[in-house]
Structure 1
Amino acid sequence: MPSDVQTVNPKDPALIAEADRAALRCPLCGEDNQCAVAAGDEATSCWCFAPGLTTPAALLAQIPPEARNRQCVCAACVARAMAGGSVADGAAKHER
């Protein structure tokens, strides 16, 4: 390949539209949700496909309507909910 030709990484954050960037953030705490699908990878490679992992229904109910089926909750929010904590606990830590 000639040295003056640049390859483009389709996963480069600078090339991702704002709506697509939103899909990479947790709708509850705003942190990176590490969603494989939103990043363009296979769904089965996502952390949420880990054996034995079940996202609590009460946590899913907290997702704002406009984010449902568009943004995934992050692993940290799922872990807090499974441990009996709240999303507010995590949001306060992110604000510090």
Structure 2
Amino acid sequence: MVDGYSELFLDNVSVADASQTGVNLLSNSDFEISTTAAVEWYDWCGNSCIGNKGYINTGNLCYGGNGNRYANACCTSNVVEFLSQGFPATISRTYPGE
């Protein structure tokens, strides 16, 4: 969702092994164990980012109602903010998002 301040919010991210349906390989994928920063996630901004990295936003507009979501704080145009997390993988398996 992009609001009037050009913020991008992210909530409920998932990656699953196709052979284990319903098992999310990401930790804290709904950002609910985070308070101010994204716990279990690594975030960084591109070189031209002005301001702070992303932050945890709490409220009733989160996926499923009240809760936490990640908010992109790098709001200037043509700037990329990255959010990543490693997960265990096996060669030749398929890992679709759910």
Name the TM-score class by shorter chain. under 0.3
TM-score computed with the length of structure 1 as normaliser? 0.22
Larger Rg: 1
Structure number with the higher helix fraction is 1
TM-score computed with the length of structure 2 as normaliser? 0.22
Structure number with the higher strand fraction is 2
